């Protein structure tokens, strides 16, 4: 099969899978759409209340809602994509019945669906926030925000591929995923900016590529915030290494998957 | 045309390795339909999945020319929470066919009535197999892989399947696996017996049956 023919088949397959995943996830009752909005809304409301309760404020130049959102959305993109992609083989073995459907296609389509969901959620929140406060956000650098979202999604896809391939070899992969990723919730800059951290803490935190991603998004979003620490090259290195590992593992476990 | 060269497949089980296919060599040419006999658990479905490409052999190679169907049978391939129609749309898309044409043709052929727009998990196993059969006919393959379902549906539906296959006999062929000799005769030109990982090929059903029944008795 030639490369262009192969690529065409893959695009056809991914497109069909995205449509199908949308149907299965959001279902006949549209309750899925409600949850997709409700879950992050609840999250933002909880932390908004918490901040108000302890009297903490967003860093200077940011309003609290936008501060929380610019942390939550990139983190959720990464986190949800990792989770969904990790489960893409085990939940979908019936699909592998069709030889042109490969695990990596299911992984990509699940990532695409999460990206569509979370960017819609972000847009809905931003628009409703603007309508409520009568103040439109003056986005400083939209491309930087998009780059941040893309890097977060890419990292999620790559790590998800690693986990879903390891999951074929051992059940342990699914068990350790949660505990392994949980610290990222607190270290990815959802509740602070890198500029505000003490130097020694910051140096340790900056090993986490997600903190760089959140910094990039906030730098692009807020006119008043300029990160001094985000390093696109560092995130790109993580992305390349994880993606190479993920794709390599996916190829090597393909023949081990038992289609039932 | 499909050719299997030195194909081996071993499953790791808790009771040690189980060699399902042991150095299998066979050539399926266009226009010649083949029936493979084997008892339950002999590895017939594995053979079909490897022929179709859903699974890969541990060693050896599979050469495939032409459009090969997925293994059509009672099991797999459909998402239970989606309707028959939605499943058809998905399959038509991944094979790059016109979605509406495929859906219409399948609806006409499958005889599942109003169930066509209901979730597949509400189907009986016979309805599921009929849907799979109708869908594969609508998509139009060169080689059909059929897993045990030649006796699907009532007499009327079976007659329809026979007619559909007869009509495309010149351009399509079938590879059927079964544990019964009876249904193979109507479709096949050559026969094979799968036993303990070995595939033996016969030109007539009588020889194949003799070998198969000998193996059953043993």
Optimal mutation site among B54, B82, B129, interface A, most CBs of chain A within 10 A: B54
Is B8 in contact with B16 (CB distance < 8 Å)? no
Q: Is the Cβ pair B77, A98 closer than 8 Å?
A: yes
Within 10 angstroms of residue B53's Cβ, the number of other Cβ atoms is: 15
Residue of A nearest to B77 (CA): A94
Task: Give me the pLDDT at residue A165, please.
Answer: 94
d(CA B140, CA A96): 20
**Out of B68, B77, B94, closest to residue A12 by CB:** B94
Give residue limits of the domains in chain A.
3-256
What mean pLDDT value characterizes chain A?
90
Alpha carbon separation from B197 to A161, A224, B21, B48, B61 (Å, rounded): 34, 71, 4, 13, 16
- pLDDT at residue number A28: 60
Chain-chain contact of B70 with A99 (C-beta, under 8 angstroms): yes
Q: φ and ψ at B96, to 5 degrees? A: 65, 35
Spans of chain B below 50 pLDDT: none
pLDDT recorded at residue B209: 84
Please answer whether residues A21 and A91 qualify as being in contact, where contact means their C-beta atoms are separated by less than 8 angstroms. Answer: no
Question: Distance between CA atoms of A247 and A162, rounded to whole angstroms?
Answer: 8
Q: Tell me the two tokens of residue B199.
A: 């595939």
pLDDT per position as a tens digit, A18-53: 998 888 887 766 777 788 888 888 988 898 899 889
The CA distance from B119 to B141, in Å, is: 26
The pLDDT, as a whole number, for residue A213 is: 97
Q: Tell me if chain B has a CB within 8 Å of the CB of A12.
A: yes
Distance, in angstroms, between B30 CA and closest chain A CA?
A: 20
> Which chain A residues are within 8 Å of B7, Cβ to Cβ?
none
Got the DSSP string for B149-200? -TT-S-HHHHHHHHHHHHHTTTT-EEEEEES-SGGGTTT-SEEEEEETTEEE
Which domains occur in chain B, in start order? 1-67+145-218 (3.40.50.300), 78-140 (no CATH)
What phi and psi, each to the nearest 5 degrees, are found at residue B27? -120, 125
Residues 95-124 of chain A with CB under 8 A from chain B are 95-101
Nearest to A188 by CA among A157, A209, A165: A209
Which segments of chain A does DSSP mark as H helices, in order? 3-26, 31-54, 64-86, 103-133, 142-169, 172-187, 199-205, 209-221, 232-253
| Residue contact B89–A19, C-beta within 8 A | yes
Token duo for residue A33? 């759409």
Interface of B with A (CB under 8 A): 11, 49, 52-58, 68, 70-71, 75-79, 81-82, 86, 89-91, 93-96
* Contact at CB, A98 and B11, closer than 8 angstroms: no
Of all residues in chain A, the percent with pLDDT exceeding 90 is 60
Which residues contact residue B36 at a Cβ distance below 8 angstroms, ignoring those fewer than 6 apart? B44, B47, B175, B176, B177, B178, B191, B192, B193, B194, B199
Quick: pLDDT tens for B136-186: 889 989 999 988 765 566 777 778 887 887 787 778 888 988 887 777 877
Which of A16, A25, A169, A170 to mutate to probe the B interface, most B CBs <10 Å?
Answer: A16
ipTM confidence score: 0.81
CA atoms within 13 A on the CB side of B182: 5
């Amino acid at each position: 099969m030639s490369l262009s023919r192969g690529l065409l088949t893959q695009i056809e397959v991914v497109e069909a899978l995205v449509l199908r995943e949308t149907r299965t996830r959001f279902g006949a009752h549209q309750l899925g759409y409600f949850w997709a909005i409700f879950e992050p809304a609840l999250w933002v409301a909880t932390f908004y209340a918490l901040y108000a309760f302890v009297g903490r404020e967003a860093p200077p130049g940011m309003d609290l809602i936008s501060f929380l959102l610019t942390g939550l959305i990139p983190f959720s993109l990464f986190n949800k994509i990792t989770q969904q992609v990790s489960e893409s083989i085990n939940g979908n073995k019936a699909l592998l019945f069709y030889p042109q459907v490969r695990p990596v296609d299911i992984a990509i389509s699940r990532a695409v669906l999460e990206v569509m969901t979370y960017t819609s959620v972000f847009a809905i929140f931003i628009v409703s926030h603007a309508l409520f406060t009568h103040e439109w956000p003056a986005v400083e650098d939209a491309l930087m925000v998009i780059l941040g979202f893309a890097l977060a999604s890419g990292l999620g896809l790559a790590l998800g591929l690693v986990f879903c391939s390891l999951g074929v070899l051992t059940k342990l992969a699914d068990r350790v995923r949660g505990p392994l990723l949980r610290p990222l919730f607190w270290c990815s800059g959802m509740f602070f900016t890198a500029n505000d951290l003490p130097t020694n803490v910051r140096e340790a935190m900056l090993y986490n590529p997600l903190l760089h991603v959140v910094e990039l998004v906030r730098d692009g979003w807020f006119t008043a915030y300029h990160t001094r620490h985000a390093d696109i090259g560092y995130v790109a290195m993580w992305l390349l290494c994880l993606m190479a590992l993920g794709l390599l593992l996916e190829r090597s476990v393909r023949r081990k998957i038992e289609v039932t | 045309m499909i050719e299997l060269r030195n194909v081996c497949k071993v499953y790791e089980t808790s009771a040690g390795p189980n060699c399902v296919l042991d150095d299998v060599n066979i050539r399926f040419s266009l226009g010649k339909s083949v029936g493979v006999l084997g008892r339950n658990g002999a590895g017939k479905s594995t053979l079909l999945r490897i022929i179709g490409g859903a699974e890969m052999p541990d060693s050896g190679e599979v050469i495939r020319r032409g459009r090969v169907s997925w293994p059509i049978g009672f099991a797999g391939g459909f998402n239970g929470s989606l309707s028959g129609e939605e499943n058809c749309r998905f399959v038509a898309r991944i094979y790059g066919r016109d979605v509406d044409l495929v859906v219409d043709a399948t609806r006409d052929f499958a005889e599942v009535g109003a169930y066509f727009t209901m979730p597949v998990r509400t189907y009986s196993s016979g309805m599921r197999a009929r849907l799979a059969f109708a869908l594969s006919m609508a998509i139009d393959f060169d080689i059909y892989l059929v897993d045990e379902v030649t006796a699907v549906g009532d007499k009327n539906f079976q007659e329809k399947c026979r007619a559909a296959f007869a009509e495309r006999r010149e351009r399509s062929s079938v590879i059927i696996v079964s544990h019964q000799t009876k249904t193979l005769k109507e479709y096949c030109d050559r026969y094979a017996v799968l036993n303990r990982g070995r595939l033996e090929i016969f030109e007539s059903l009588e020889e194949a049956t003799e070998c198969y029944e000998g193996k059953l008795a043993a």
